[in-house]
Amino acid sequence: MNEKEEQLSHILEKHRGERNGLIPILLEVQKEFGYLPKEAMLTVAGFLGMKPTDVWGVATFFNQFRLTPLGKNHVKVCMGTACHLAGGRLVLEALERELKIKVGETSGDGHFSLERVACIGCCMLAPVTVIKDKIHPKMSPFKVEESLIPYRREEQEEQTPTE
Amino acid sequence: MLQRGRLSFEEIRKRANAHWEALEKGVHVFVGTATCGRAAGALDVIDAFKNELARQGVDLPILQVGCIGLCYAEPLVIISKPELRIAYHNISPDLVPRLVEGYLLGDDPCLELALGTFEVDQKGTPSIPELSRFEHERRLILRHCGYVDPENIDDYIANGGYTAIEKALRMEPEEIIEEVKKSALRGRGGAGFYTGLKWDSCHKTTDKTKYVVCNADEGDPGAFMDRVILESDPQQMIEGMIIAGYAVGAQQGFIYVRAEYPLAIERVRKALEQAEEIGVLGENILGSGFSFQIKIAEGAGAFVSGEATALVAAMEGRRSEPRVRPPRLAESGLWGCPTLLNNVKTFSFVPLIVAHGAEEFASIGTEKNTGTAVFTLAGKIRYPGLTEVPMGTTLRTMVYDIAGGMSNERRLKAVQIGGPSGGCIPESLIDLPVDFDSLYETGSMMGSGGMIFMDEDDCAVDTARFFLDFTTKESCGKCTMCRMGTVQLLSILEEICAGRAREKDLQLLKELAEDVKMGSLCGLGRSAPNPVLTTLRYFGDEYKAHILEKRCPALVCKDLIAYYILPDKCDRACEHCVLVCPTEAIKGGKGEVKYIDQEKCSKCGTCLEVCPHEYNAVAKISPVSKLPKVPMAGKTQPKEGPKQ
């Protein structure tokens, strides 16, 4: 925990005296921790002399901010117009079925989380999913299972030696 | 004069020109590595080139450029030799050895992989004459995209960059504003307000501190031109901002860019560093006494932040909620100071207007809609991508000449322009010249310039539902009509899509849509009903089919369709559909005709996808009541009847 506090104060120091600090700080905190922990938000509020409710208000307003940790393999499904017309919803439903989680959730073992995003700007490759920052173009419900195989294998390999 | 550090700007230009000449005389490889190219595998292609060149023991530069706008051709590789430059399309790593041995090191132009060759016209704009689309395009702000290294300022300078700032600094601010006014440039963010007027009112304020803000918060799902510009040619926009700063009397600029565009942020950051390094940005620019700084402000993702006052709220670290205007931002914006806010494309036009004069710009396009417009073309067309055309170009040209017509021989049904703020324009209006005013008359609007082409397989009602679903999530919640009204509109549309609506709901939908339009404060709420109103206006029959016949003519709305296996087309021996069905809804043993248990079917469409094309045995049927009974007679009958 101490290490985390240190990381946080390091981030805050970088932004000391900045006038538009809140959103950049929250973005950096999230980059560091993967989400916005409650304690971190309280510290940020204290540092900026803001009410915690105002920090909370901003954290819950913007799509980028998350209040719970993501899975190790974060799956984003593009729901832009082109992806929607090309059947993005069917892909999202197939992912929900395959990962056994609903959109916005993280699986119980923390391996996968599923999110819908507005548009990642790759409309010519629609429908698109992004798994752990790798773009999977021209998806279909049928291709979903196959696209997850490498990430599932990775998880299994990591687990085997410890077992 | 114009001295900074050790090199004067003249010397910097000489250095840049020498660098560019060497590049043109040498042999090298360009790879498009904007986000779209990367998504298609451009970085793997670069690795493959590096490996192949290392294997051959040759050292040649491999340069990363932005996006040329031909998204369908990615990854795009240009091999440049002094005698001929050739562009190659859809290059995968396994094709790289062929290109290296063929054209890069040999004399075989590998024409089977080529997209076309380059010619450079009198204005220095490269084009691929084999592609007819370039005849209809007029590239002003996209002219460097895909041809210059966005991470090297010398590339921009050698192509005429930063001449406008030199000229501008010798002009009076009023003269520059007059020039922008004369050009009749209208803001490319969507609403089309005259840029010169905005600059003028900001200039006329007497405050000491003023700000220039570039709106790069491109939030429309289906538009990505700002991203492409930031990733391919950021210097042009930066130069436009500096000129704007000088004209209105600001010392500080901000680029508000979405955190969802990490590559764009990285490239803009590098571009700003380089501009400062050579002295066109920062203290005492080119010895003129004028100082201007630019910082990046990362946005955290909210569609409403594209609205000017909401963007300012986000920059101040608050919830991104719009406020009542007046006062306009030009009078009271960021931290209460006069703020000039323009879009990425608007700023990008500025250096051209200043360098070449307002007349030349105003001669392009139509009288009230001057210059060019940038559109992203996506949907059911053959060549999706990015295009820049004179204002007033017709939709017909856009679809058939630039986008290569519809894909899969389907018929064009409608064009959706402007995303959630725009509307659906039917095929019957295909000769409509596209500009701010004509679009407004159809009930749509230019918005961000995203164009999605829809064919007969796309449902107008579902499209309206999709956009309302988006605006409902993105409404900031400040005004009641937007917060509650969009939710009610969505729920009516959902009822229609589910076949549960009554005829009188159509009237309710229309009235409520008009009310939301009237009763909302900002552009988000005021334009949110556009997708509903335009589809009601042009595709009323489709709404009626959903309500009265429980039928979705485009076979999209899930509750109104059923999947069906055509018994005389099913191969019987093939089991593709049975094996992939996630809910085990497909019955029928080996050698028997397969059929779908409708109770179990989740309508995911996987059976339709995997059924081999030679059989094409899976069909969608709407309304569900027309579904034929499962065949129960003959030897193809399954041994067990369908279980409930």
> What pLDDT, in 10s, does the model give residues B462-518?
999 999 999 999 999 999 999 999 999 999 999 999 999 999 999 999 999 999 999
**Tens digits of per-residue pLDDT, B203-230?**
999 999 999 999 999 888 888 899 999 9
Instruction: Locate the DSSP E strands across B391-488.
Output: 412-417, 423-426, 450-455
What ipTM score was computed for the predicted complex, to two decimals? 0.92
β-bridge partners, B621: B562
pLDDT at B642 over 60: no
Give the pLDDT mean for B17-26: 92
Tell me the nearest-neighbour CA distance from A162 into chain B, angstroms: 33
Instruction: Read off the pLDDT of residues B57-96 as tens digits, 9 standing for 90 and up.
Output: 999 999 999 999 998 899 999 999 988 899 999 999 999 9
Quote the CA–CA distance of B429 and B433 in Å, as a whole number.
9
Residue B15 clears pLDDT 50, i.e. is over it: yes
pLDDT of residue B502: 96
Cα-to-chain-centroid distance, residue B312: 23
Domain ranges in chain A are: 2-61, 73-162
Confidence of residue B422 (pLDDT cuts 50, 70, 90): very high
Amino acid at B277: E
Q: In 3-state terms, what secondary structure has residue B76?
A: coil
Asked if the Cβ–Cβ distance from B40 to A137 is below 8 Å, we say: yes
- Does an H or E element contain B177, and which? helix B173-183
Angle at B529 between CA B528 and CA B530, to 5 degrees: 90
Helix, strand or coil, per DSSP, at residue A18: coil
Question: What burial letters (b/e) apply to B593-623, b meaning 16+ CB within 10 Å?
Answer: bbbbbeeebbbbbbbbbbbeeebebbebbbb
In a mutational test of the A interface, the residue from B209, B524, B604, B609 whose CB has the highest number of chain A CBs within 10 Å is B604
The CATH number of the domain covering residues in B7-149 = 3.40.30.10
Which has more confidence, B12 or B6? Answer: B12
Q: Which two tokens stand for residue A12?
A: 């805050």
Q: Which residue has the higher pLDDT, B573 or B5?
A: B573
A143-158 confidence digits (pLDDT tens): 999 999 999 988 888 7
Question: Is it the case that residue B320 has pLDDT exceeding 60?
Answer: yes
Residue type, position B109, single letter: P
For residues B20 and B9, is the Cβ–Cβ distance under 8 A? no
How confident is the model over A102-145, as pLDDT tens digits? 998 999 999 999 999 888 778 888 899 999 888 898 999 999 99
Q: Average pLDDT of chain B? A: 92
Domain A2-61 has CATH 3.40.50: no
Provide the CATH topology of domain B561-626.
Answer: Alpha-Beta Plaits (3.30.70)
**Cβ <8 Å between B452 and A82:** yes
pLDDT band at B124 (very low <50, low <70, confident <90, very high): low
**B162-362: CATH number:** 3.40.50.11540
Judging contacts by C-beta atoms under 8 Å, the chain B residues touching residue A119 are 220-224
Chain A residues touching B451 at Cβ < 8 A = none
**CB environment B537-554: b (16+ within 10 A), e (fewer):** ebbeebbebbbeebbbbb
What span, in angstroms and rounded, lies between the C-alpha atoms of B272 and B295?
A: 8
Q: What is the mean pLDDT of residues B318-343?
A: 95
Pick the residue of A19, A22, A23 with the most B CBs within 10 A to test the interface with B by mutation. Answer: A23
Specify the CATH number of the domain A73-162.
3.40.30.10
Domain spans in chain B, listed from the N-terminal domain onward = 7-149, 162-362, 372-458, 461-548, 561-626
Query: What is the structure's pLDDT at B1?
Result: 41
Distance CA B323, CA B423 (A): 25
Please judge whether A119 and B222 are an interchain contact, meaning their C-beta atoms are less than 8 angstroms apart.
yes
Q: Tell if the CB–CB gap between A142 and B220 is shorter than 8 Å.
A: no
Report the chain A residue with the minimal C-alpha distance to residue B227: A121
pLDDT exceeds 80 at position B377: yes
Give how far B228 is from chain A: nearest CA, Å. Answer: 9
DSSP-based three-state secondary structure for B299: strand
B6 pLDDT band, cuts 50/70/90, is low
Contacts of B580 in chain A (CB under 8 A): 142
Checking if the pLDDT of B640 tops 80, the result is no
Token match 């009541």: residue? B625
What is the side-by-side strand order in the sheet with A134-136? Answer: A112-117, A73-78, A129-131, A134-136
8 Å CB contact between A115 and A75: yes
Q: Please work out, in degrees rounded to the nearest 5, the angle formed at the alpha carbon of residue B419 by the alpha carbons of B413 and B420.
A: 115
Asked if pLDDT for residue B132 goes beyond 90, the answer is: no
Average pLDDT over residues B535-543: 97
Q: Please compute the mean of the pLDDT values over residues B588-598 and round it to a whole number.
A: 90
Collapsing DSSP states into helix, strand and coil, what is residue A144?
A: helix
Interchain CB distance below 8 Å, A81 and B222:
yes
Same fold across B372-458 and B461-548: no
What pLDDT score was predicted for residue A161?
61
Interchain CB contact of B105 with A (< 8 Å): no
Angstrom distances, CA of residue A118 to CA of A123, B222, B525, B538, B557: 12, 9, 18, 26, 21
Residue A1 has pLDDT above 70, yes or no: no
- CA–CA dist B428, B366 (Å, integer): 22
Domain B461-548 CATH (choose: 3.40.50.1820, 1.20.1440.230, 3.40.50.720, 3.40.50.10860): 1.20.1440.230
The C-alpha atoms of residue B214 and residue B195 are separated, in whole angstroms, by 13
Cα gap B23→B21, rounded to integer Å = 5
B315 contact A CB<8A:
yes
CATH 3.40.50.2000 fits B372-458, yes or no: no
Q: What are phi and psi of B404, to 5 degrees?
A: 75, 15
From chain B residues 177-236, the ones with a CB under 8 A of any chain A CB are 218-224, 227
Cα B118 to Cα B76: distance, rounded to the nearest angstrom = 14
The CA distance from B83 to B502, in Å, is: 69
The β-bridge relationship of strands B339-343 and B211-216 is parallel
CA–CA gap between residue B520 and residue B526 (Å, rounded): 5
Q: What is the pLDDT of residue A156?
A: 83
Cβ of A118 and B303 within 8 Å? yes
Cβ-Cβ contacts under 8 Å, B301 against chain A = 62-64, 118
Q: Do A118 and B219 touch (CB under 8 A)?
A: yes
Per-residue pLDDT band at B434 (split at 50, 70, 90): very high
Q: CA of B459 to nearest chain A CA: how many angstroms apart?
A: 9
Partner-chain contact B450 A81, CB within 8 Å: yes
Residue A12 near residue A6 (C-beta atoms within 8 A):
no
CB B319 within 8 A of CB A57: yes
B402 contact residues in A (CB cutoff 8 A): none
pLDDT single digits (tens) A6-50: 999 999 999 888 877 899 999 999 999 989 999 999 999 999 999
Summarize pLDDT for B223-275 with one digit per residue, the tens: 889 999 999 999 999 999 999 999 999 999 999 998 888 899 999 999 999 99
β-strand pairing of B450-455 with B372-379: parallel
User: Exposed e or buried b for every residue in B354-388, given b needs 16+ CB within 10 A?
Assistant: bbbebeebbebbbeebbbbbbbbbbbbbebbbbbb
